[in-house]
Chain A
Amino acid sequence: MSERKVDEETGVETTGHSWDGIEELNNPLPRWWLWTLYACIVWAIAYTVAYPAWPMISGATTGMLGFSTRAQVAEDIVQHEAKNEALVAELVAADLTTLPPSSDLHRYAVARGGSVFRAQCSQCHGSGAAGAVGYPNLLDNDWLWGGDIESISATITHGVRNETDLDARYSEMPAYGDIFAEEEIGAVVEYVTSLSSSEFDADLAQAGSELFLDNCAACHGDEGLGDQFLGAPNLADAIWLYGGDRDALTETVTNARFGVMPAWGQRLSDVDVRAVSVYVHALGGGE
């Protein structure tokens, strides 16, 4: 087909293609567009040779430049650690009790501690640090083992009731199911309820108060206010670790509780323990 055909309406040459009598006009594309396409193809091939690209059976081709996003992240981390070196050294040496809250070091500690917390602590204490049944809420002003920065730091470093750290916070309540009769447990529960609530059976509580003074007051105190040195909870306030209704209290008195926390001093670096201590202290309940 060498005969040229021109569309009468537009004066444009046709390609010779015709569908149902409609002919395709040939408005030629500039040649440099074609070269651009070829250049893109060459670029694409070069790119797949230079960079990781082709999926293989085990992993993808690595590319001649040896680039990998994983290595880039590792490099970024090294760079950030180098940048933070001075702050880290300062935090390790700092006296946390006198660290000014508006200082750069304090902000760094809170930011670093926050990320440690979300990675290591949030599984039990929750991402917002609000805790759960059996796992203390770290936002409130009730502390089992003390809420000043040194106590918090010691709890985090050594943990609670674990077997790996000899300095772990340790206290154990006896299971009174073996010691008390069922009605005695009911009486003690009623007395404990009376410490923080106005709805209780006065006679039963009276009976329970004597049992309490003889058996419980040694740790929880005569008024049930607890003892942070022994890790004995305050029974007269509004906060309950395992629930404050009669069923939960009966369960606690009968079988006792034994919450455990790892010794983070053995798992985290010194600076991370310090940072997470500052973070927890700054959550709202710090003393």
Chain B
Amino acid sequence: MSDRPLYAPQEPIFPRRVSGKFRNLKWVIMAVTLGIYYLTPWIRWDRGPNLPDQAVLVDMASRRFYFFWIEIWPHEFYFVAGLLIMAGLGLFLFTSALGRVWCGYTCPQTVWTDLFILVERWIEGDRNARLRLYRGKWDVRKWRLRITKWITWLFIAIATGGAWVFYFTDAPTLLRDLVTFSAHPVAYMTIAALTATTFLFGGFMREQVCIYMCPWPRIQAAMMDPDTITVAYREWRGEERGKKHENKSGDCIDCMACVNVCPMGIDIRDGQQMECITCALCIDACDDIMDKIGKPRGLIDYIALSDEPAERAGQPPAPILKKILRPRTIIYTTIWAAIGIALLYALFVRSDIELTVSPVRNPTYVLQSDGAVRNIYDVRLRNKAGEDRVFHISLTSEEILRIELEGRDGQRNLVVPADTTILQRVYVTARPQDPAASTDTTALRLWVEDVDADIRASQATTFNGRDE
């Protein structure tokens, strides 16, 4: 037992450069996702004088979330919750249909690792040069190349950590504060932490993050089934593998191209494995070799496990659409779309003005000296518009119950400033002879109306009479 190591050192991986349609797709996706991440905070959006003019802004201090024309208040956080549920279901849908496409193309860990490997290749050369450098002595050249690489990585990492904080406050102001060292310490700490994780995860941890830290590879097995389209090796076509002169029956010439390009350091010919992020670079590498030796492409390909029996028998595989359209993906899509439609509906019917009524129940009612019964309501009035509004408060069944506003001298109109919630104490009184004064509870509805625009909102509540 003593000589069996329970811990293994990280095996260094030196992915070789590859070109092909999937590599090109990955370059495009990298450019788009990184572009979105770095540039979004700099998009301006005019919301008038009282509101910030940043298109996407998570304003923690004022408790607002701005997304272009949409403004979300804390009590509307269900929009964010809904989007997160949609993101989760979307991940389920794509995984059950297309395997780990999220991991292979769009996961930040994959994108930044790809970027870091690109930098590494520019500075240190391709796979063989990097291998030589790795094995070589720490001479001046090695130090120079390593330090150049690390500094370049560090700049990317700082830009990454730096871009994150711009989402939380006005970007141009923060940038000026950052460079003049007058920004809040939290900004610097956040940048430092994210710089460290980007540098470490993209430069050194790489595949270790996917294999040992990320829970998704462990969960994905539950999302996939034999009809899931994933990157696989056509073993029935490739074996027996061997070099050309060995005259083996299979198409695989054992050139190791698929292994050399793999950023996860695995051999796809071993079958589906947890480490595979389905980045499809082995497909590009193998297709290139197949072209060169005059064999048909697709020895390694996007196929479903259920294709195997047909292909072994020499029949064409089932059409892709048939594999994608199955009860599981249809159910995921339906739930995803239902939540999406519900959110859109909620977004378009929501009003610029709102009220919430919390009846004061300590005590449940107040007896006045003339025998009248008064109930108190704490009413929160929200003006979500960018300018001050005049609100009018009213009550249904006003012939029975009278309404008064605390501290407003009998006025029922009040100004609610732009983008603000105010708390107003409201009194509703039933005269001694009114039935509501001696009835246990009476239903009523409080209304708020924007007197300049034709917008109303209301909330139902109850009135408590004397409990006799």
Contact = CB atoms under 8 A, between A and B. Distances in A.
Given A15-B1, A284-B374, A284-B376, A33 B7 contact: yes
Interface in B350-380: 360, 362-363, 366-371, 374, 376
Interface stretch (B62-70, B151-159, B173-181, B406-414): B406-414
Contacts of A126: 362-363
A282 interface: yes
B267 to A, nearest CB: 13
B8 to A, nearest CB: 4
Given A102-B407, A239-B367, A28 B7 contact: yes
B150 interface: no
A31 B368 contact: no
Interface string A58-101: 00000000000000000000000000000000000000000001
Contacts of B3: 2
A198 B8 CA distance: 95
A29 B7 contact: yes
Nearest to A16: B1
Given A30-B212, A127-B362, A282 B407 contact: yes
Contacts of A13: 4
B5 interface: yes
Interface string A26-56: 1011111110000000000000000000000
A28 B5 contact: yes
Contacts of B407: 101-102, 106, 282
Given A101-B406, A139-B376, A141-B368, A34 B363 contact: no
Contacts of B374: 139-140, 284
Contact of A26 (B6, B9, B366): B6
A31 B362 contact: no
A234 B208 CA distance: 82
B370 A130 contact: no
Contact of B371 (A29, A130, A238, A282): A238
A30 B208 CA distance: 8
B425 interface: yes
A238 B366 CA distance: 11
Interface in B48-78: none
Contacts of A130: 362-363, 366
Given A26-B4, A29-B7, A128-B360, A234 B369 contact: yes
B8 A28 contact: yes
A13 B5 CA distance: 11
What does DSSP make chain B's interface, helix, strand, loop or mixed? Answer: loop
A239 to B, nearest CB: 5
Contact of B7 (A2, A31, A102): A31
**Which of the listed residues B205, B212, B366, B425 has the most CB atoms from chain A within 10 Å of its own CB?**
B366
Interface string A236-255: 01110000000000000000
Interface in A131-145: 137, 139-142
A284 B408 contact: no
B71 to A, nearest CB: 24
A250 B370 CA distance: 23
B7 A139 contact: no
Interface in A218-246: 234, 237-239
Contacts of A26: 4, 6
Main secondary structure of the interface of A (DSSP, over half): loop
Interface string B291-324: 0000000000000000000000000000000000
A1 interface: yes
A139 B373 CA distance: 11
B433 interface: no
B369 A141 contact: yes
Interface in B1-50: 1-10
Interface string A95-127: 000000110001000000000000000000011
Contacts of B368: 140-142, 238-239
Contacts of A106: 407
Given A26-B6, A102-B414, A106-B407, A33 B369 contact: no
Nearest to B466: A238
Nearest to B407: A101
B208 A32 contact: yes
Given A102-B414, A282-B406, A284-B427, A139 B8 contact: no
Contacts of B415: 102
Contacts of A16: 1, 4
Contacts of A128: 360, 362-363
Given A16-B4, A26-B4, A101 B366 contact: no
Contacts of B205: 32
Contact of A284 (B1, B208, B366): B366
B362 A29 contact: no
Nearest to B1: A16
A2 B5 CA distance: 12
A265 B370 CA distance: 33
B374 to A, nearest CB: 7
Interface of B: 1-10, 205, 208, 212, 360, 362-363, 366-371, 374, 376, 406-408, 414-415, 425, 427, 432
Given A26-B6, A28-B6, 6 more contacts: A101-B408, A130-B363, A139-B366, A140-B366, A142-B368, A239-B369
